[in-house]
Structure 1
């Protein structure tokens, strides 16, 4: 990476990091582009070189953070001796929910957008925002599975939507159960969805 590219990445990362800090501390509606550029120490024109508006930077930030969550779960999954797609999905689900429970700022940013649509966007976003090729990993996981599934994308949609909604309520409101009590119930539900989609 040349000096110009490194400088460009530094400014872009500074804008993303500053946005994360401001969005999570004061909310997106109370954060202006002027607030972001002032705190990041860049000109307003620099912001528009990388992002259309504050909602664009929020979406990219959510995709980046979602990808980081998945990447960390996948890295730890590689250290485990799990063989079925079902066990791998359960492991990653638990890993991500525990990480979110330990990082309320991150949960505050992404909870409304921790959905299959966003998850899929994180899979296919450009290389600048991702560490792991999530789409490839998920596709490979299902292709290598001895058990085959009818419409795995629909199955994952239902799993991600259920887990994200129930997980948020559990982490923030301890409803219907605290997370440590909810995880076994979620595991049973995820396994039920996966079994229902087996061919």
Structure 2
């Protein structure tokens, strides 16, 4: 990476980190672009070279933070399978990733609040398909790679992912932040059973043996 590109990346990262700190302490509505720029040590006019407005940087932050969660979960899934010499099925891979993300959000309630308050399917789709920062993971590629290795054909995979995402997001928000209707550890078994049910609703014919090899 050249010096110019490196400087651009540093400025973009500084703006993202500063905005995240302000949004999670003051709230989006009470944070101004001037404040973000000043705290990041960047001229206000430079802000607009990277983001349209503060709602654009908010959306990209949700995408960025979601991507980081998926990246860590996918990396841990790979390490777990290698360490234990296991080949997990599609359902078990999804459950593993969901469990890892839930645990991460349980440890970082500030992140959970920020993502849950600002998450929409459009923003989430951006997190699936685009890299906000250089080290972001394109989870859509990971997801479809998992589907390619699944034991069954998956009908409408994006709808399936939407349903699972909405279920996990809303459940985490209530169970982790308010322990309603119970704490997250009590709810997890029921949540994972429901996720498996959603997946099975989208499974169609088993793949041919040749396709699975």
Instruction: Report whether the alignment pairs 1:136 with 2:137.
Output: no
* Structure 1 outlier segments of 4+, above 2 Å: 112-119, 126-131
- Which residue of structure 1 aligns with residue 130 of structure 2? 125
Query: Structure 1 residues 128, 41: closer, same or farther in 2, change over 3 A?
Result: same
Match of 2:89 among 84, 102, 112: 84
Q: State how many pairs are aligned.
A: 199
Whole-Å Cα distance in 2 between the matches of residues 184 and 7 of structure 1? 47
TM-score normalised according to structure 1 size: 0.95
Whole-Å Cα distance in 1 between the matches of residues 185 and 87 of structure 2? 22
Instruction: Report whether the alignment pairs 1:101 with 2:110.
Output: no
**What stretches of structure 2 of length at least 5 have no aligned partner?**
81-85, 205-213
Whole-Å Cα distance in 1 between the matches of residues 122 and 169 of structure 2? 12
Maintained 8 Å contact 1:115/1:164: no
Match of 2:153 among 148, 157, 175: 148
Maintained 8 Å contact 1:148/1:198: yes
3-state SS, counterpart of residue 50 of structure 1:
coil
**What stretches of structure 1 of length at least 5 have no aligned partner?**
none
- Which residue of structure 2 aligns with residue 9 of structure 1? 9
Maintained 8 Å contact 1:116/1:156: no
- Which residue of structure 1 aligns with residue 176 of structure 2? 171
